Structure 1
Amino acid sequence: MKYPFYRLVTLVFSAKESLYKAIHKYIGALFGFEAAEVTHIDLEKGFLELALTQTLCASAQKGMTFDCCFDLQESYPFTLLAGHL
């Protein structure tokens, strides 16, 4: 399955936004999109993995990973994040 570049960028943005919304209240500080990177993506299975690129707090250490399931809808991506702090 091949997607245009802009759809993949939108997917990564959505996944990182899901991560931010899921953990920002536990972090106690603002952090940017550079705090996580995609380390694995499987477009066929609708799965990607995000890893923290920096330590955000004692329970969110650099290298910690989060699983993200996604569905590339016609007009927007749907992302669902799972992980443990």
Structure 2
Amino acid sequence: MSKKGKIISLNDFKENRKLTDPDGNPFTGVCVDYYDYEDEQKEYETRYKDGKENGLCTRWYENGQKEYETRYKDGKENGLCT
């Protein structure tokens, strides 16, 4: 869900994933997915620029412990995954 509360969707375009807003425009911002939305238990949080992963991506286990962090640039992993 975007900061404005609009639902956004992840679409597959050939080999590249691209996140778009409801109007089909490339999404720029933070995308958060939840194991349990009501309890705000995050599964992952990823930053996007022009529809592609760009910046820090963090994923958590269902018990709330951090599984990993990695960075993206233009939709590709960039650097170490910890």
TM-score (norm 2): 0.28
The structure where helix makes up a greater share of residues is: 1
The structure where strand makes up a greater share of residues is: 2
Q: Which has the higher contact order (CA 8 A, sep 6+)?
A: 1
TM-score (norm 1): 0.27
